[in-house]
Amino acid sequence: MIVTRFAPSPTGYLHIGGLRTALYNYLYARANGGKFLLRIEDTDLKRNSKEAAEAIVEAFKWCKLDFDGEMVYQSSRFDLYKEYVQKLLDEGKAYKCYMSKDELDALRKEQEAAKQRPKYDGRYREFNGMPPEGIEPVVRIKAPLDGVIEFNDGVKGEIKFNCADILDDFIIARSDGTPTYNFTVVIDDALMGVTDVIRGDDHLSNTPKQIVLYEALGFKVPKFYHVAMINGSDGQKLSKRHGATDVMEYKKMGYLSEALLNFLVRLGWSHGDDEIFSMDEMKKLFDPTHLSKSASTFNQSKLEWLNSHYIKTVSFERLVDELKHFGLNLKEIKHAKLLVDSLRERSKTLVEMANSAKALLNKPKEYDEKAYKKFINENSLNLLAKFSEILDEDLNASGYEEKTIKFLEENEAKLKDLAQPLRVAITGTSVSPSIFEVIEILGSKEVKERIEKLINK
């Protein structure tokens, strides 16, 4: 059975790149009838944030990414890690290192002067003497000093590391007894039965260390897939300067979770030339061997295009529910469905949609200066006044259109002579959906009042 996991550190909110990693692991598990696990890697007690951990869970709920079993917190497993540290010590595969800070600083200076790669020199690897006083030891793994570590990466292919070039006896437990990242990851992935690890290629340098630990502990090494990073439009690694990167910020900006996930799955994965994927399609089609070796570019326009697509296609009830988060309660609006349907065709985000709806539903407090100067004059005001007189009953959009065409013929005017001044009267701007749909949504009485307000301005 395929078992994948997402294992974020709660030192900040869930980053957009982290969500992509979670999505890939989720899809691979679901596509193969496997398990997807969530583990919070909170062993760094000084940097951890309870709010950040809760934000990760909140983002998962918003994106409807369910996980199997209970969420695991590493901070509740310290006793377990200590057992495995002791196991390695007892088997002679790890040792206590009493190197002082002064010793370490002196070694680093020597290596820098000799233009050597900074690395621990193994001076306590076979130490059997009396421990120095006043020094709490760290625990180091006995890493291979020569040879090659190699594995078949699901994205990058065959990977080889020369042990002498990249490894030293790295620390698995700090002087206060807390375990290090690479050690806890191996213990947890092995004991949780993780078979496949999909993660960013910034973790590639950790892989040989983790393989050393898997082998020292007698655990099976999982299959690794190292995914190329997401870059901003300038080609640099995606960061805050490229826009919002916290997942929940996208909700606040009016993006639907379906659009964001569809956008992210395509940042590094493809299925032919297809662009739009429902969650069911993603679960059916996702294959990590189709992940790209090249970095992806974050394209805001593509995200907006996808969001526009989903706004057009999700149910009316879903949009009513979503728009509540943006201060728009449509439950009491008589023609709510007509309003939503008229706006969904032209909205890129829910924020844009909510603002457009409010602009229609609320009497304008002011008028766009440019639109007012262009469309409001003595002739247009006279035409609006005459038009107001025929608004004596509530009709549907087609009824208003038929009545308006007759009115324009009788007054020797064209639709453009009336429509734009009417938009200014109704919304304060020259932009709106179909003017006849707008009149149906508001009703004759409301439109008459807004025309009168403009005329008396």
pLDDT tens for each residue of 245-298: 789 999 999 999 999 999 999 999 999 889 999 999 999 999 999 999 999 999
Confidence of residue 244 (pLDDT cuts 50, 70, 90): low
Distance CA 402, CA 407 (A): 9
What pLDDT, in 10s, does the model give residues 172-227? 999 999 999 999 999 999 999 999 999 999 999 999 999 999 999 999 999 999 99
3-class DSSP state of 52: helix
Percent of the chain, pLDDT > 70?
98
What is the structure's pLDDT at 19?
Answer: 95
- Mean pLDDT on 88-92: 97
Distance CA 126, CA 132 (A): 15
**Residue 316, CA atoms < 13 Å, CB-side half-sphere:** 10
Token pair recorded at residue 441: 């949504």
- Mean pLDDT on 21-49: 90
Does the model's pTM come out above 0.85?
A: yes
3-class DSSP state of 157: strand
3-class DSSP state of 11: coil
Phi-psi sector, 33: left (phi>0), alpha (psi -120 to 50), beta: left
- Mean pLDDT on 322-346: 93
Question: Of 61, 237, 240, 293, which is the active-site residue?
Answer: 240
- Is 373 annotated as contributing to ligand binding? no
Q: Cα–Cα distances in Å, from 341 out to 330, 347, 348?
A: 13, 10, 14
Percent of the chain, pLDDT > 90?
80
Is 237 one of the catalytic residues? no
| pLDDT of 332 higher than 70 | yes
What is the structure's pLDDT at 150?
Answer: 96
| pLDDT of 166 higher than 90 | no
- Mean pLDDT on 42-64: 84
Q: Where are the domains of the chain?
A: 78-227, 369-455
Q: How far is CA 327 from the centre of its chain?
A: 23
CATH classification for the domain delimited by 78-227, as one of 3.30.565.10, 3.40.228.10, 3.40.50.620, 1.10.20.10:
3.40.50.620
Torsion of CA 310, 311, 314, 318, to 10 degrees: 130
> Are 263 and 302 a contacting pair, CB within 8 Å?
yes
What is the structure's pLDDT at 331?
Answer: 87
Domain 369-455 has CATH 1.10.10.350: yes
Q: How far is CA 175 from the centre of its chain?
A: 36
Ranges of beta strands (E only) in 136-222 are 138-141, 148-153, 157-162, 171-173, 196-200
> Are 170 and 117 a contacting pair, CB within 8 Å?
no
